[in-house]
Structure 1
Amino acid sequence: MIPALRPGDKIAILSTARKITVPEIEVAIRTFENWGLEVVLGQTIGASYHQFAGDDALRLQDLQQMLNDASIKAIVCARGGYGTTRIIDRVDFTKFKEHPKWLVGFSDITALHSHIHTLGLESIHAIMPVLFPKAGTADSIETLRLALFGEELTYTAAPHPFNRSGTGTGSLVGGNLSMLHTLTGTRSDVSTDDKVLFLEDLDEYLYHIDRMLVHLDRSGKLANLAGLLIGDMSDMKDNAIPFGKTAYEIILEHTDKYNYPVSFGFPVGHEPLNLALVCGREAKLEVNEAGAKLVYC
């Protein structure tokens, strides 16, 4: 069990993926400090190597240092983009397993959430510092605070015509669909059997969504779920000849043959309302005509 944060604890902000500057995360720094936390900036903040927050060696070194430092109680990834999978196989998680700490982020950071889940530890899928200044993110930021400080988290979602009613309990896993697809067959791949899976994605062609769902289904990752949460599928793209289905319709097609509860439109993903989810924690999903409810056990 990872200890909840307390005022006075030290947290690190770094980037394992796309580059970012200090001014872009100043709102987040002030927010964390207002929560009573001491913020330490990694070497990757302000570093630049083409699109990345420094080259692979620097991003690896920064993450490794913060994982190994027992005084750091949480590591917050400043932003996503791309780059985490380039370094993850060279990360030594030995000291992290001895002294677990929270790892926070989403999107490209799904690679770290999945890898950490294979170690039997929890992590937090949540809003990242680059997004703190955006309009409409206050509730997302507050759920991150609740998760970090170990306060109760219970979520509800509005009804959706594609929902499938039922109740399922299992460890919560998932994140960005494209990343989960990329991780299949790697050391960071997670079993989804008897688990509550959540999915979200951004800026993908609809046929890509279909191709990834076909692959996940063929590899058995959709067959034995305890439940399924479908978050935001934001800024989807189509071809000149339309694919013919929305992202939600594609997901419905590939999951309709199964019997577990499914909630569409769950507020997680690349939209202002991105509820903090504790990956690896046992959760119960209830879906009925009133909508969906997610409660940690």
Structure 2
Amino acid sequence: MNKIPPYLQPGDTVGILCTARYVNTEQLQPAINLFESWGLKVKLGATVGQEWHIFGGNDDLRAQNLSDFFNDPEIKAIVCARGGYGTVRMIDKIDFSGLERTPKWLVGFSDVTVLHSHINSMFEIPTLHASMPVVIDNKTPEAIDSLRKALFGEEISYSFKIDSPFTRKGSAEAVVVGGNLSLLYAIQNSVSEIDVYGKILFIEEVEEWLYNIDRMFWNLKRSGKLQHLAGLIIGGFTQLQDNEIPFGMSYEEIVWEKVKDYDYPVCFGFPAGHFADNRAIKLGEKAILRVGEHVSFMQRA
């Protein structure tokens, strides 16, 4: 049984910290202003403004900061400042006992996929795949409002017209899991690996080589990860790279080649990922997905 964290109320405190790359207070000011406009208080972590190589402090500091926020009764939601790389370096140093005792929303995407997967699979606590503070001022009003709705316990629902020939119609009502493809690939066969059986799998990616996308999807197929899904949602695959001699397949063709023989609904172009219209998704929570002439996605509070 999922342990759904309490939704936020005006006057609650959100904590912002670094689990991966470095960020300073000035970069966070737009997000601080946004959260305060929603009636929330903001507490900055010890990692904000700290710099160790490309990271927001060394691995021990980043792990300790997150552990402290899990144990802090004042903080009702934890927002990762940015992604990049670094969460997998310290995941095994984190004390999750505070989160187990008192579930709270953890927010982020990209490199934060490591935490989403670990928390969803190990503790059956939902998390929130959504925009992060360092890029919040570049997001669409719809993306920002979806974050607010998800945090405050309002229904989130999206509908968009299909703009891809590689789509399979159908419907599914199941738990959503997933995140960034490279990170899902990196944590396979570890304690943080997600269970995808009977789930709706969401995947997005950025700045990846087409041949590497192909390699990672072959791994998902050969390891059985794509066989027993309830549905597949492909979000943004942006700023992709190719060699001088072209790979010869688009990312859609790469994915479709691996899933065409199954029977669950598949959609491309979902509004979540490394772009302005990054809509919130509650990972580890049920959703209703319908793929027809349009795609609809809904998660109730």
* Both structures adopt the same fold (TM-score exceeding 0.5): yes
Q: Distance in 1 between matches of 2:154 and 2:266?
A: 26
Q: Show the counterpart of 1:204.
A: 208
Q: Distance in 1 between matches of 2:16 and 2:207?
A: 26
The 5-angstrom pairing of residues 161-180 of structure 1 reads 161-180=165-184
Q: 1:73 aligns with which of 73, 76, 93?
A: 76
Q: Distance in 2 between matches of 1:60 and 1:231?
A: 29
Output the amino acid matched with 2:235.
Answer: G
Asked if 1:222 is matched to 2:226, the reply is yes
Q: Distance in 1 between matches of 2:291 and 2:148?
A: 26
RMSD of aligned Cα (Å): 0.9
Q: Show the counterpart of 1:251.
A: 255
Output the amino acid matched with 2:205.
Answer: D
Q: Show the counterpart of 1:186.
A: 190
Report how far residue 137 of structure 1 moved: 2.5
Asked if 1:61 is matched to 2:28, the reply is no
Q: Distance in 2 between matches of 1:188 and 1:157?
A: 32
Report how far residue 254 of structure 1 moved: 0.9
4+ residue segments displaced more than 2 Å: none
The answer on whether the counterparts of 2:202 and 2:235 sit within 8 Å (CA) in structure 1 is: yes
SS in 2 for 1:259: coil
Asked if 1:273 is matched to 2:277, the reply is yes
Q: Distance in 2 between matches of 1:78 and 1:158?
A: 32
SS in 2 for 1:74: strand
Output the amino acid matched with 1:62.
Answer: N
1:75-132: per-residue Cα shift (whole Å, max 9, x none)?
Answer: 0001000000011112121121110000000000000000110111101000000111
Q: 1:29 aligns with which of 12, 28, 32?
A: 32
Report how far residue 178 of structure 1 moved: 0.4
Q: Show the counterpart of 2:91.
A: 88
Q: Show the counterpart of 1:13.
A: 16
The answer on whether the counterparts of 1:158 and 1:265 sit within 8 Å (CA) in structure 2 is: no
Output the amino acid matched with 2:38.
Answer: W
Q: Unpaired runs of 5+ in structure 1?
A: none
Report how far residue 295 of structure 1 moved: 1.8
SS in 1 for 2:174: strand
Q: Distance in 1 between matches of 2:130 and 2:161?
A: 20
SS in 2 for 1:133: helix
Output the amino acid matched with 1:273.
Answer: D
Q: Distance in 1 between matches of 2:159 and 2:114?
A: 26
1:256-280: per-residue Cα shift (whole Å, max 9, x none)?
Answer: 1111000110111001001100011
Report how far residue 296 of structure 1 moved: 2.3
The answer on whether the counterparts of 1:203 and 1:234 sit within 8 Å (CA) in structure 2 is: yes
Number of corresponding residues? 295
Output the amino acid matched with 1:13.
Answer: I
Report how far residue 50 of structure 1 moved: 0.8
The answer on whether the counterparts of 2:287 and 2:299 sit within 8 Å (CA) in structure 1 is: yes
SS in 2 for 1:190: coil
1:141-190: per-residue Cα shift (whole Å, max 9, x none)?
Answer: 11000000001111112213211001112100010000000111011001
SS in 1 for 2:229: coil
Q: 2:149 aligns with which of 142, 146, 149?
A: 146
Q: Show the counterpart of 2:124.
A: 120
Output the amino acid matched with 1:207.
Answer: Y
Q: Distance in 2 between matches of 1:145 and 1:81?
A: 23
SS in 1 for 2:137: coil
Output the amino acid matched with 1:79.
Answer: R
Q: Distance in 2 between matches of 1:156 and 1:74?
A: 27
Q: Distance in 2 between matches of 1:195 and 1:234?
A: 24
The answer on whether the counterparts of 1:77 and 1:109 sit within 8 Å (CA) in structure 2 is: yes
SS in 2 for 1:294: strand
Q: Distance in 2 between matches of 1:162 and 1:206?
A: 17
TM-score when normalising by structure 1:
0.98
Identity %: 48
